[in-house]
Amino acid sequence: GDSVTQMEGPVTLSEEAFLTINCTYTATGYPSLFWYVQYPGEGLQLLLKATKADDKGSNKGFEATYRKETTSFHLEKGSVQVSDSAVYFCALMRQGAQKLVFGQGTRLTINP
């Protein structure tokens, strides 16, 4: 079945460091790929998405590129801020399906 595997956390970085959170997936066909973020005390919010191979999703300085050849959708940010501290979830939605399949989440803490 479809699945998403994320880099295990927690991840702790200093402010202005470079961030990568790895995400790989298993799915038939060409799923859409997503990164969701959950800030403390809040619900899940869509951070960015990509719907086909080589698409790059970006938002708030975060980027992720849909890599079909490596079945990956790694999240990157060049310079993190304390306000980026949150739990990040990678997810997919198979074409024709209606449900999101999530990874286990990666907790990110940024220290000043």
d(CA 105, CA 60): 19
Token look-up 């286990």 returns: 104
| Stretch in the footprint of another protein (CB under 8 A) among 15-23, 64-72, 74-82, 85-93 | 85-93
Q: Is the distance from CB of 24 to CB of 71 less than 8 angstroms?
A: yes
Per-residue binding string, another protein, 89-108, x by CB under 8 A, is: x-x-x-xxxxxxxxxxx---
Give the residue, chosen from 14, 20, 26, 45, that forms a contact with another protein under the rule CB under 8 A.
Answer: 45
Judged by CB under 8 A, does residue 49 bind another protein?
yes
Least spacing, CB of residue 55 vs another protein, in Å: 10
Q: Which two tokens stand for residue 78?
A: 């060049």
Tell the burial category of 80 from Cβ atoms under 10 Å away from its Cβ (0-12, 13-18, 19+).
Answer: buried
H/E stretch holding 2 reads: none
Least spacing, CB of residue 90 vs another protein, in Å: 8
Contact residues toward another protein (CB under 8 A) are 4, 32, 36, 42-46, 49, 51, 89, 91, 93, 95-105
